[in-house]
Amino acid sequence: MDLIMSNASLSDTKKKDILTQMCHISFASEMSQAGQEAPSGMASYTCNCFFEKVSLGNSIKSAQDHCKEKAASKFDL
**CA-based Rg of the chain, rounded to a whole angstrom?**
13
Is there a domain that residue 22 lies in? no
pLDDT tens column, 14-71: 888 998 999 999 999 999 999 999 999 999 999 999 999 999 999 999 999 999 999 9
**Per-residue pLDDT band at 1 (split at 50, 70, 90):** very low
**Tally of domains in the chain:** 1
Is there a domain that residue 77 lies in? yes
Is there a domain that residue 34 lies in? no
Q: Name the residue range of residue 49's domain.
A: 39-77
Is there a domain that residue 74 lies in? yes
Is there a domain that residue 30 lies in? no
Is there a domain that residue 7 lies in? no
Is there a domain that residue 3 lies in? no
